[in-house]
Amino acid sequence: MMPPDRVLYMDVKFPMDSYTAFVAAVDQTSRDSLKKDFITAVRARVTELQKRDYAVVTTEHSLDYVLLFVPNESITGFIHEADPNLIDWALAQKVVLCSPLNLYAFLVVIRQATESFHTEQAASHMMQLMNKFKVQWEKYVKSLDQVKKSFDKMQGELDVLTVGARYKKLAGEVKKIDDLRKQQNVPELPASELADDEIEPQDADEDEVD
């Protein structure tokens, strides 16, 4: 994907352990604390990459930006939700957070930008493409947030149906019916008798009177 005379560095040492610890936490206090630890770890990783300054120290013709690979889309959405400014802040440090789905698209944008730079010698065009990518990225994150909210709403409605007040009232009425059945010594119907039986129509000849 990259032009033959350009390289782009990508770092894959994402602080996954911090995120795993957050996911494994069971109480809210621990989750809040571990969420802060995770965001701090991500920012620290971005700062570390920025200080390395690959474009200066390497002997190869590298781009100014470094990619920090995020293992999956849900983590990217979580970062945006927990710290909305982190992605823009990282971009200002010339570190771009990318996930599996947008990595290929990002490389395409970079190739187009670098080719334009070589043909037109116009760095401003590259920045325009980067800004377009940023706009599309923000739209993607917004859509991801909407999907998450819809899922949370559906989960809440499902909880109401399975453990809510109406479910408990229905369960209570069923228990009363069962208690009354036991008091009256009414046996339970076997499972075979609970199925809907089809009623076969009588033969017309049987209704005739001799």
Check: pTM over 0.85? Answer yes or no. no
Per-residue model confidence as pLDDT tens digits over 139-190: 888 888 888 888 888 888 777 777 767 777 877 788 888 788 788 777 777 7
Measured over the CA atoms of residue 133, residue 135, residue 140 and residue 144, the dihedral's sign is positive
Instruction: Give the SS3 label for residue 69.
Output: strand
Most confident region among 61-70, 154-163, 164-173, 195-204 by mean pLDDT: 61-70
Q: Comparing C-alpha atoms, which of 113, 143, 154 is closest to residue 8?
A: 113
Give me the pLDDT at residue 150, please: 86
pLDDT tens-place string over residues 71-84? 888 898 899 899 99
Evaluate whether 109 touches 127 at the Cβ level (below 8 Å): no
